Structure 1
Amino acid sequence: MVTIKDVAAKAGVNPSTVSRVLKDNASISQKTKEKVRGAMAELGYVPNVAAQMLASGLTYNIGVVFPPLLTPDRLSEPFFMQILTTITNEAKEQGFTVSIATGMTKDELEEQVKLMHLQKRVDGFIILYSDGKDLVRQYLMEQKTPFVIVGASDGFEREITYIDNDNQLMGKMALEYLYEKGHRAIQFITDDLDSEISEERYVGYVRGAGKLDLVSHPAQLFDSNDPVVLEELIDSIKENQTTGLIVIGDTVSVRLMQFLSFYQLNVPHDISIITFNNSTFSKLIHPYLTTFDINVNNLGRTSVRRLLQIIRTPKMVFSEKIIVPFLLKERESVRDLKKK
């Protein structure tokens, strides 16, 4: 069996250094950590988790909380699978495992998180949504349990760490991009009017429209299961002679394109779409979507690293808003009206 001493000899460091690397001690340089972890991988070293748990009091497991599954399509969003994969891989690199909390309703989700906490199955949580009235967040704050939120900041900014993109800036840039392509009648489409991310991006759209002296419209709901909502949407597009749509995400955009085609509205010839996430759906069918890459892998890695920092230094208070950069991917779904 490979021991810490074997790893230390291979890496050319002291056994105590290996122990500190296993605990991700901040006193050890990143270069040394990489060298020690490389030696572990080469020798096939597996830490004695039971001994570590006894010594540290940690479970070496973190909980990932998905949003309430209010709609059957929610888990099909590529964002959640991609960020979960990144979180799992990063946790593994740090010697942690991952457990998932899901629920069909807010109450079910709260009960699941409570159970995981009371049974001491996790050391902390990563919440993959932001909601100012969230019961899970409220419970974890009351219990002083470590957690971070991947999503827009919404209260308690001095007590909670948020990891997110600048969604207002993205909404503003989306409108400016359409404007540069000659579009003047532009609307904002979402599948959830109460979503924090949707609200942030809509605010950016409104501010951008104001600066460019364009008319901004109320956010339009797209719900493929509600005929009344769909009729209101198509009426609004026709009434306002809309040529450009800012759509909340790739999956919604794909469904919206199918809906528009039913009314003989072609993307991008008749109407242009710019969207967000740069998921696998963005290049699923033609036209490929012009979309913002929100850097999901960076969001996932950062959330794990910040959570473990909170877990390992319980006496310190961490509260910050970490902004992850984004990138616009120009593809086929926006027509340049300036070109004849």
Structure 2
Amino acid sequence: MATIKDVAKLAGVSASTASRALHDSNMISEATKERVRKAMAELDYSPNYAAQNLVNRKTNTVGIVLPVRENQDSLGNNPFFMQIIQGISSICSENDYMVSLATGRSNEELQKNVQTLIRSGNIDKLIFLYSKKGDPIFDYVKQQKVSCVVVGQAYDALTDHIQYVDNNNFQAGYDAAVFLGQKGYHNIVYAYTDLEELVQAERYEGYQSYIKQQGLRDHHLGLSRVDNRANLEKLQSFLAKNPEIEAFIACDDIQAIRLQRLFKEADIANNRYALLGFNNSLITEIANPSLTSVDIFPQELGEEAANLLLKKILQESQTLIIPHQIIERESTASIK
């Protein structure tokens, strides 16, 4: 296995110069850095980051903070989070960084895991994959000497070392409602799991804006992520009280799939209600019927979050907005 001394010898420089070139020191000329890079490539040299971390008390690891979920399997099975993590990982890999995940079934468990990343893992770069008002984990991180990027909305006073990558979720919710309205649907429900999660709340507010403009009635339905029996009873009761319902906007694709399954259990025809979700994840095409979904480009969200964190991209605003696009499929056929 090649060492830094082997690289230095091949490049015709001292070991200390090769090490400085490896760390992109401004004391080393670009020509020398290029010779060192070529020597590294020729020798297939990989830096011993673990040893460097012990000496420098730093780490080449980015911590990814996932939202609290009572059932951790729901995170692992959610294509949205997998796509974001894939985007983050690709940029981290290009910059010789690894990723480490922090999860939890409660705020207390998640905060403990984040504290471990920062204190024991010496991690000083974090990416939050959610934004939530009054979040104790986020409040804790703001007090630490870490760089942080949030995939989500900035809801409080902006902090110098925290940046945001987001979609315009208000507009996405509004556009989803307009799309269904143009298809002939007027009695539309917004189905959610937790309106304290800002992305769900913003989409609901966009839906509400359209409903108010059209003089229509605001219908909303909260469903559990884990209690399917309670969800079935709640949905049946809701539909019995509101027989005029024609369409659903689900807070995300997982919620849309959950509704499809509930319709089946309630013996409701799969084309009885129009159904639209968000994220355009892989499951939308294999759903029955296939799901119309608002593509928010999760992999790009992850890539840009990592770019902001590692490359310190300068921008006028602390929030970088990724566009969205409605992908139409079978679940939103026009009213005949």
Instruction: Give the TM-score category using the shorter length.
Output: 0.7 to 0.9
Matched AA of 1:125: L
Deviation at 1:20, TM superposition (A): 6.6
Task: Please tell me whether residue 324 in structure 1 is matched to residue 322 in structure 2.
Answer: yes
What residue is the counterpart of 1:333 in the other structure?
A: 331
1:216 partner letter:
D
Offset, 1:307: 1.4
1:3 maps to what in 2? 7
Q: Could you tell me whether the CA contact under 8 Å between 2:133 and 2:197 is conserved in 1? A: no
1:149-168 matched pairs, under 5 angstroms: 149-159=150-160, 160-168=162-170
Task: Report the CA distance between 1:227 and its aligned residue.
Answer: 4.0
Corresponding residue to 1:207 among 206, 209, 218: 209
Residues 3 and 182 of structure 1, relative CA distance in 2, 3 Å threshold: same
> What's the counterpart of residue 276 of structure 1?
278
Deviates more, 1:122-131 or 1:45-54: 45-54
Structure-2 change in CA distance of 1:240 and 1:205 (3 Å): farther
Equivalent residue number for residue 290 of structure 2: 288
Q: Where do 1:61-140 residues align within 5 Å?
A: 61-75=61-75, 76-140=77-141
Looking at structure 2, the residues matched to 67 and 244 of structure 1 have their Cα atoms a distance apart, in angstroms, of 29
How far is the alpha carbon of 1:132 from its aligned partner? 2.1
Counterpart residue identity of residue 100, structure 1: L
Decide whether the 8 Å contact of 1:250 with 1:291 is kept in 2. yes
Letter in structure 2 aligned against 1:163: V
Distance 1:196 1:139 in 2: 19
Per the alignment, residue 12 of structure 1 pairs with none
| Equivalent in the alignment of 1:246 | 249
Call closer, same or farther: CA 1:284–1:56 in 2, change over 3 Å: same
- Select 2:264's aligned residue among 241, 261, 264: 261
Provide the C-alpha distance between the structure 1 equivalents of 2:212 and 2:39, rounded to a whole number of angstroms.
Answer: 57
- Once the two structures are aligned, what percentage of the paired residues are identical? 31
Provide Cα deviations, 1:300-319, integer angstroms capped at 9, x if missing partner.
11111111245xx9xx9997
Corresponding letter in the other structure for 1:266: A
1:194 to 1:240, Cα distance in 2 relative to 1, 3 A: farther
Q: Give the 3-state SS of the residue equivalent to 1:112 in structure 2.
A: helix
| Partner SS, residue 130 of structure 1 | coil
How far the C-alpha of 1:213 sits from its partner, in A, is 2.6
Q: CA deviation at 1:273?
A: 0.3
Residues 181-260 of structure 1: matches in 2 within 5 Å? 181-217=183-219, 219-223=220-224, 225=227, 227-238=229-240, 239-260=242-263
- How many residues end up aligned between the 2 structures? 322
Distance 1:216 1:147 in 2: 37
Matched residue of 1:100: which SS?
Answer: strand
CA distance in 1, matches of 2:24, 2:52: 9
Letter in 2 for 1:305: N
1:18-46 Cα offsets, whole Å, 9 max, x none, are 96785599xx99xxx99x98996676342
Question: 258-267 vs 299-308, which deviates more?
Answer: 258-267
Shift of the alpha carbon at 1:64?
A: 0.9
Alignment partner, residue 142 of structure 1: 143
Distance 2:63 2:183 in 1: 44
Gap runs ≥5 in structure 1: 9-14
CA contact (8 A) 1:158 1:320 kept: no
Q: Which amino acid aligns with 1:71?
A: N
- After TM superposition, the structure 1 stretch with the greater mean CA deviation from structure 2, 225-234 or 169-178, is 225-234
Counterpart residue identity of residue 259, structure 1: L
